[in-house]
Chains A and B, each alone.
Chain A
Amino acid sequence: MVSPDMPVPARHQLRIVVAGHVDHGKSTLIGRLLHDTGSLPEGKAEELRAISEKRGMPLEWSFVLDSFQAERDQAVTIDTTQIWFRTRTRDVVIIDAPGHREFLKNMISGAAAADAAVLVVDAVEGLRDQTRRHAYLLRLLGVRQVAVVINKMDAVGYSAARFGDLSRAVEQYLAGIGVTALAILPISARHGEGIMSFPAGLGWYDGPALLEVLERFHPARPAVDRPLRFPVQDVYRIDERRIVVGRVESGILRVGDRLVFSPAGRSARVAAIEVYGAPPPLEVRAGQVAGFTLDEPIFVERGDLASHEDGPPQLTDVVRVNLFWFGSRPLETGARYTVKLATHRAAVTVQSVERVIDTDTLESRQGGSVARNEVAEVVLRADTLLALDPHTDNPATGRVVLVDGYDIVGGGILSMGGYPDQRRLMAAPRSANLHQVDHLLSAETRARRQGHRGAVVWLTGLSGAGKSTIAMRLEQRLFALGYHAYVLDGDNVRRGLNSDLGFSPADRAENIRRVGAVAALFADAGTVAITAFISPYRADRVRARAAAAAVGCPFLEVHVKASLNACERRDPKGLYAKARAGTLPEFTGISSPYEAPEAPDLTLDTEGEDAAACVERAVAFVTARLGMSESETDSSPPFLRS
């Protein structure tokens, strides 16, 4: 008899999912594991014997888990389940994941909660499509500790050669997705071989038995050493206090810390951590739920993401998602969904389906849609700014689920791959002592003197599409027509104004922000500012348009369009060759995205028309929009005539 005073052992649950193809013996393995470790409740084995006999079959261990009548009658696991057992060292929760393709969403619902996985492979059948799909999904779900069992070894005569072949096949596949198995071992679950120990038939195998392998897994630790992330769950008004509640997903939150709430960016200090019925702590750590009050009455709501001022999450309205999809309707380019990102909800549009991945061959194809049970890489564009982290930096704030109507239909992990953090670009002026000074001259006065108003003509397109050529000729032609026009060209501006910037996504975005601001100043001064920059990000062009709008000037977005193939063939600066050779990183179109304008004011197709024709069309368009045309040079611009 154990003394009641004996200290309770540390009981951090280890959650292990058992995955693999249908009928490869997952439920049987779990049933047997529970039986052999003495974890089945009293009378359970007899009950199983009785219900197996009723169905005219030998003792079926899988009935421990397959508790639905439909599961027993059809001998297939429909839904995931969890069952507890104890090894010598710790409490374990075993998660059974259905292997049938139809029940992928149930498999994910089970496997996503796991710290580790056992992948079951039938020694006779070998690797099948769901074996590979499950392995792939485990990686997407962030389950990195994996052991593989080659089951039903009795059915292949305990052949060491067969085991060797399958081990190599599994290793090869796992290596392809960046996973290393902790162990690969031969077992026969039905006969309890290889679970606690190996019988003579498997004497050639000198590795550990399954139970020992399970004891080598360890539970996930809370991410205390990562930057603080606290997604706001709710704000409660209790007496006179406004308590912000949620869970610390990573890092440590301390009384006195200054917190910034993204995406809005408001900040305040933690006045007190609030706990009911206990003295208030001075800090709370990753994994703990918490409530706190702030020293200033700033507006905070569910969905905000609190962090420290140094090490905030990224802000973006566009993000790459490596996703799995189980919606009954395919995911389509252009379709609208809701994403849930921690406690935040946002409306998104599928901007593009970059590639659909065949989990059997790991090959990918391009396509506009993702069918049920497929995995793919897509780019999502949100209606508003999202505060997030790349999944590699912070899993809890680096993943989303997609909702269609009332249902969760998919999920995925986030990466910024080639897209910039927009936080710096959104920043308010750093100095608080700024006062707007008004000019004594109005835009109309300037326009009357110059004969036209100022404007920004924004050329965007791939490198080699013809932006600089068209810009320079357009400037020349407009000048000849009496316009004050000036070209801001990429390479020229980078020699001076932007000589401190490189080509990282963040620097490219800053480059365009400055050019947008300078172009707006030129336009405000009455000049037609023509810009010739790749300007690959839609968000940056939207910002440049806003800068022009702020000074009341027209902004004409011109898409100088040519296919990547054509640009690469032209390669006037030899840049594509360098990018392909890998010596020029983050090159638009090759290793960095180009987001074509959705609704440009003008499109110039430089593959379909020669440069002269493009320039003529540009001249006609700009002059028509700005009011001074070749035949009207002597009269005042039409906008003054109204």
Chain B
Amino acid sequence: MPSDLEELEARTLFILREAFAGIRPLAMLWSIGKDSTALLWMVRKAFYGRIPFPMVQLDTGMELPEVYAFRDWMARDWNLDLRIEMCPPEEEMDPTLPPGGRAAARKTAGLQALLLRERYKGIFVGIRRDEQSMRAKERVFSPRSEDGAWNFKDQPAEFWDQYKTEFPEGTHVRIHPLLHWTELDIWRYTRQEGIPIVPLYLSRGGMRYRSLGEKNITVPIPSTAATIDEIIVELENTRTPERAGRTMDHESEDAFERLRRSGYM
């Protein structure tokens, strides 16, 4: 019997290939974090070392310097077709939004501009169900209207590995090949496969980043986990949620719902 990580990987490869068989043009959002980097690793497996669609980074200019350094190194080392999409400046965002909401709104607006210009029909996004209860309600193939809105009250039926792969003009689909993974799974897979990560995930001086976001709205957590092995042990014993250090999730009860409804990842 295959290991549980093999099963999780097999499902992701199956989804990637289903999307590639039915939807063009495609692009993948690469946030440079552990999840989308693991996804990128699996894209190479699914397509035998090729990456048959561009990687897009929605850049706010506010990532931590280590993130940019890792991005540039990976782009060279893996020979990525990397498209950096500069998001509109904060001044153009709704000033009544809290700071976290404004950063998310910038990414949402950046994605909208990209879709409008490049006419992508499918966008791979490395979100997981266990991250956040709104994401737990997602479909693997999740259609969006032209403005990116998520009609979560009427999501398509999705069962028996049959996905919605056809859409009227003006629709695009978010494809979520990691929905079934947990944070712990991703770390165990990263260790098993030897996937590179941004060093900020590892503890330095008693602190590490559990989740990477813009530097003004993301804080490191107290941790002594200086290796991936230690991260795995830490996660097996913690009850602190993964996104505790992401302020935008907590600005109001429905903060994340409003973000996602309007097109945030």
Contact = CB atoms under 8 A, between A and B. Distances in A.
Given A4-B233, A83-B136, A291-B48, 17 more contacts: A4-B227, A8-B232, A11-B4, A13-B4, A41-B240, A65-B133, A67-B136, A68-B257, A69-B257, A79-B155, A109-B155, A236-B47, A238-B48, A246-B17, A275-B45, A287-B1, A406-B168
Nearest to B13: A289
A70 interface: yes
A372 B55 CA distance: 41
B241 interface: yes
A567 interface: no
Contacts of A8: 188, 232
Interface residues of A, number: 69
B239 A38 contact: yes
A18 interface: no
B159 A108 contact: yes
Given A82-B136, A247-B10, A406 B44 contact: no
A10 B4 contact: yes
Q: Which of B129, B159, B168, B232 has the most CB of A within 10 A?
A: B159
A234 interface: yes
A233 interface: yes
Interface of B: 1-4, 6-7, 10, 13-14, 17-18, 20-21, 44-45, 47-50, 129-130, 133-134, 136-137, 139, 152-153, 155-160, 162, 164, 166-168, 182, 188, 227, 229-230, 232-233, 236-237, 239-241, 244, 253-254, 257
Contact of B50 (A40, A91, A238): A238
A629 to B, nearest CB: 56
B241 A406 contact: no
A65 B232 CA distance: 26
Interface string A561-580: 00000000000000000000
Given A41-B240, A69-B257, A245 B17 contact: yes
Given A2-B233, A42-B240, A233 B21 contact: yes
Contact of B166 (A2, A105, A406): A406
Contacts of A141: 159
A108 B1 contact: no
Contact of A109 (B1, B158, B241): B158
A274 interface: yes
26 contacts: A2-B233, A4-B229, A10-B3, A10-B4, A12-B1, A13-B4, A41-B240, A42-B240, A51-B253, A68-B137, A78-B153, A79-B155, A83-B129, A83-B130, A108-B159, A113-B159, A141-B159, A234-B21, A238-B50, A274-B48, A288-B6, A289-B14, A340-B162, A403-B166, A407-B156, A411-B162
B161 to A, nearest CB: 8
A553 interface: no
A408 B161 CA distance: 12
Contacts of B4: 10-13, 91
B7 A287 contact: yes
Nearest to B229: A4
Contacts of B49: 238, 276-277
